[in-house]
Chain A
Amino acid sequence: MENKRLVKVPTMAEMAANGEEPEVLFWVGCAGSFDDRYKRVTRAFVQILEHVGIKYAVLGTEESCTGDPAKRAGNEFLFQMQALTNIEVLNAYNIKKIVTACPHCFNTIKNEYPDLGGNYEVIHHSTFLQQLINEGKVKMQGGGEFKGKRITYHDSCYLGRANDIYEAPRDVLAALDADLVEMKRSRANGLCCGAGGAQMFKEPEPGNKDINIERTEEALATLGTGNGVIATACPFCMVMMNDGVKNKEQEENVKVFDIAELIAQAEGLTK
């Protein structure tokens, strides 16, 4: 990047101190903050936010787990502790709109926080990116890196079945002018990556196969031979699909990318 500038990611604390309010709060999530692979997605999404010039902010170190993995694991008590604490922070900052790249955070804040006093407009980054593309704010003139490339989209359960968001991520991918191919089990019939319901944090129960292997095999068969991309829109799906591709020793041919990374790359923001 020859002409580049250093990004100073604005925090809510700073904004509030200056008496400002962001258009949208970017909820980064634990994976987006700590997982080395997903930190790249967070950074790609911030690059897009900076590029389109939206007034955004993050909570920084004031953010904490939404409580999703605790809730799905049955620990309602810990979930509500987390939720009530987060809601206190969000309400203190008078947050109205939240965008997040994690379907689990998205689902929890959108659907489960209202019962506990947290009412916000919550939007997943796939819908957010779709809107930016529709509004012409992201044009992908950066060079059709993915033009004609085989891409298959893996539905996240917490985005798809849980919240009926099937088209937004596909519309975003369609803007890449790539060769989109669908797996046999897709949309409402999509197969889970194996990480939901707090499975991410435990060993699988006894069986004859790991779920992510089953799903990766399906993705690889759909992509066929040659290079291809498995597109995801969820940090846990990304981990599972990456592990699956490695297990099948296909990491040279098949890459796993989040839809935000694909857009940032196509837009020339990451060079």
Chain B
Amino acid sequence: MDNFGIENIIFLIVAAIGIGLFVWQIRKIRKNVLIGRDVELSDNSSERLNKMLLVAFGQQKMFKRMLPAVLHLFVYIGFLVINIEVLEILIDGIFGTHRVLGFMGPVYSALMFVNEILAALVIVACAIFLWRRNVTQVPRLARGVEMRAWPKLDANVILITEIVLMFALFAFNISDLKLAELKGHELAGSFPVSQLFVNAFGSDAGTLEAIATTGWWIHILGILAFMNYLPSSKHFHIIMAFPNVYFSKLLPKGKFATNPAITHEIKAMLDPSYQPPAPEVDAEGNPVMQRFGAKDVEDLSWKQLMDAYTCTECGRCTSVCPANITGKLLSPRKIIMDTRDRMEEKGEHPAIFRPNHYKELGVERVATTDEKTLLRGYITPEELWACTSCNACVESCPVNIDQLSTIMDLRRYLVLEESAAPASLNAMFTNIENNGAPWAFPASDRFNWAEELYVPSKN
């Protein structure tokens, strides 16, 4: 592609369509996330930035599990660095240049060198990941009611695509290298892997030209297609991980949200002279009625909805959940995946939309109803009541998803709007109301523990 020609025009059109389609999908997702309640999370920007650098950019929490962390690191760094070559491919494609960044000399050589090594490591890592998913079937990746057909297929599509993209890159480099050799000039850059296979495609210049062009096109078309696959896929985490960590909770994990509307109500009850602030009004001046707790996606905050788009379904949360470990239905990953499915059912949906509802799949254990809401339509009370609020899921998530906050908001709705707590919990509530303790002991006995208590005297 040494001259500007019809190929460049085709490339420009394809790239414009690919990028346009991506922007269109991103706007849909943005709209979905904004279904959520507003919540103020723009405080402490330097602490947030730090957290983003450590957890998202620095992959800090991945390293709780060494093997997947190292393999994932190959793919992650590969993604970051190889994108510089993709930039070159874009420029070459638009202007008909060839290896336009080659002028950088040794810097370019070093970049190509690193690229080749990383591309090889990406292939190895993705192959191992495929093995772990499909052959050894690591439980957190293979099991669980939420691991329906689509999530499993999605994971394999991603891994195979990444391998194909890397092979296309090698095909391009190998034939480019051989062509340069045949022409007797030196190709800008250093290609340690391609050098090993330099004779793989023979020495016919025409064939090599064709392979180089095909490799180049597969790589760039693959990237454009993959980019447009992201919004429908768990692989969207490569973008969402960054904002999601930035906006994650900075407070101690034990601090649960306080609902100020309830505070006003109680204060007015305790003190008749208390003046609660005027209720929020919408554009038409009607008071905004907000549910206590969450029944559907619009009752969750935009951050909780963003969590759903960030989840890469790795199942670390579920694998450390005490309820799940002991065979209960609760799976924190399912809570997050259900939120995404419901959000797309209710709001906009991206190019590929495959919600795979439990009911139509006949997943009997999940006793959902026909209600078109997140609660009961997707997530059942049985799951919510199995949570011990231990924060193990939150701690384990490499991209700082707060599964517990969504579980708690759904629980709040059950209790505050439906009075649908299990009977034993209602008894506990009554005890607290009547005698200030969760057990049925008279409040007047509260200090009895102090009777007949002795300590050694000091003299």
Which residues of A have CB within 8 Å of B408? Answer: 72, 74
* Residue A144 is within 8 A (CB to CB) of chain B in the complex: no
What is the minimal beta-carbon distance from A256 to any residue of chain B, in angstroms?
18
* Residue B60 is within 8 A (CB to CB) of chain A in the complex: no
What is the minimal beta-carbon distance from B370 to any residue of chain A, in angstroms?
23
* Residue B98 is within 8 A (CB to CB) of chain A in the complex: no
* Residue A269 is within 8 A (CB to CB) of chain B in the complex: yes
Give Cα distance in the complex from A70 to B259, angstroms: 14
Interface string of A150-161 (1 = CB under 8 A from B): 000000011001
* Contacts of B372-428 to chain A: CB distance below 8 A: 382-383, 385-392, 394-395, 408, 411-416, 421-422, 424-425, 427-428
Given contacts A111-B252, A161-B391, A198-B425, contact A7 B455 (CB under 8 A): yes
New A-B contacts (8) at CB < 8 Å, excluding given A80-B262, A161-B392: A58-B450, A157-B391, A161-B395, A162-B391, A164-B252, A189-B392, A211-B323, A271-B456
* Contacts of B320-336 to chain A: CB distance below 8 A: 320, 322-323, 325-330
Give Cα distance in the complex from A207 to B320, angstroms: 16
What is the minimal beta-carbon distance from A92 to any residue of chain B, in angstroms?
14
Give Cα distance in the complex from A162 to B382, angstroms: 24
Give Cα distance in the complex from A63 to B441, angstroms: 13
Write the chain A residue with the least CB distance to B437. A30
Chain A interface residue count, Cβ-Cβ cutoff 8 angstroms: 83
B292 touching A205 by the CB < 8 A rule?
no
Residue in contact with A60 in the complex, picked from B391, B427, B446, B456, CB distance below 8 Å: B446
**Tally of A-B residue pairs with Cβ under 8 A?**
250
Residue in contact with B322 in the complex, picked from A9, A35, A111, A211, CB distance below 8 Å: A211
A202 touching B425 by the CB < 8 A rule?
yes
A197 touching B387 by the CB < 8 A rule?
yes
* Residue B256 is within 8 A (CB to CB) of chain A in the complex: yes
* Residue B454 is within 8 A (CB to CB) of chain A in the complex: yes
Interface string of B299-331 (1 = CB under 8 A from A): 000000000000000000000101101111110
Q: Name 17 interchain pairs, CB-CB below 8 A, sorted by A.
A: A1-B454, A7-B450, A7-B455, A33-B437, A33-B445, A34-B437, A50-B455, A72-B256, A74-B413, A75-B416, A75-B429, A107-B252, A111-B252, A111-B254, A199-B388, A206-B327, A211-B325
Which residues of B have CB within 8 Å of A60? Answer: 446-447, 450
Interface string of A6-28 (1 = CB under 8 A from B): 11010100000000000000001
Complex interface: stretch among A40-48, A127-135, A168-176: A40-48
A197 touching B389 by the CB < 8 A rule?
yes
Which residues of A have CB within 8 Å of B292? Answer: 76-77
Which residues of A have CB within 8 Å of B330? Answer: 205
Give Cα distance in the complex from A28 to B443, angstroms: 13
What is the minimal beta-carbon distance from A29 to any residue of chain B, in angstroms?
9
* Residue B64 is within 8 A (CB to CB) of chain A in the complex: yes
Give Cα distance in the complex from A158 to B388, angstroms: 11
Which residues of B have CB within 8 Å of A51? Answer: 455-456
Interface string of A191-219 (1 = CB under 8 A from B): 11011111111111111111101110000
Give Cα distance in the complex from A208 to B365, angstroms: 14
Which residues of A have CB within 8 Å of B328? Answer: 204-207
Chain B interface residue number, banded: 35 or more
Write the chain B residue with the least CB distance to A111. B255
* Residue A222 is within 8 A (CB to CB) of chain B in the complex: no
* Residue A73 is within 8 A (CB to CB) of chain B in the complex: yes
Give Cα distance in the complex from A258 to B251, angstroms: 28
Give Cα distance in the complex from A61 to B435, angstroms: 11
Give Cα distance in the complex from A6 to B255, angstroms: 39
Binding site for A on B (CB under 8 A): 64, 251-256, 258-259, 262-263, 265-267, 270, 292-293, 320, 322-323, 325-330, 382-383, 385-392, 394-395, 408, 411-416, 421-422, 424-425, 427-429, 432-433, 436-439, 441, 443-450, 452-457, 459
B412 touching A63 by the CB < 8 A rule?
no
Residue in contact with A9 in the complex, picked from B258, B387, B425, B453, CB distance below 8 Å: B453
Give Cα distance in the complex from A110 to B292, angstroms: 24
Which residues of A have CB within 8 Å of B457? Answer: 3-5
Give Cα distance in the complex from A74 to B452, angstroms: 39
Given contacts A4-B455, A78-B432, contact A197 B443 (CB under 8 A): no
Central interface residue in B412, B421, B438, by most chain A CB within 10 Å: B438
B388 touching A269 by the CB < 8 A rule?
no
* Residue A180 is within 8 A (CB to CB) of chain B in the complex: no
Residue in contact with A76 in the complex, picked from B252, B416, B441, CB distance below 8 Å: B416
Give Cα distance in the complex from A195 to B459, angstroms: 43
What is the minimal beta-carbon distance from B326 to any residue of chain A, in angstroms?
4
B254 touching A107 by the CB < 8 A rule?
yes
B266 touching A209 by the CB < 8 A rule?
no
Which residues of B have CB within 8 Å of A5? Answer: 454-457
B388 touching A195 by the CB < 8 A rule?
yes
Which residues of B have CB within 8 Å of A214? Answer: 322, 325-326
A1 touching B255 by the CB < 8 A rule?
no
Given contacts A1-B456, A61-B443, A205-B382, contact A78 B436 (CB under 8 A): no
Give Cα distance in the complex from A236 to B3, angstroms: 75
What is the minimal beta-carbon distance from B8 to any residue of chain A, in angstroms?
54
Give Cα distance in the complex from A204 to B445, angstroms: 29
Give Cα distance in the complex from A157 to B392, angstroms: 8
Given contacts A4-B457, A74-B412, contact A69 B432 (CB under 8 A): yes
B390 touching A80 by the CB < 8 A rule?
no
Given contacts A65-B437, A194-B388, contact A74 B421 (CB under 8 A): yes
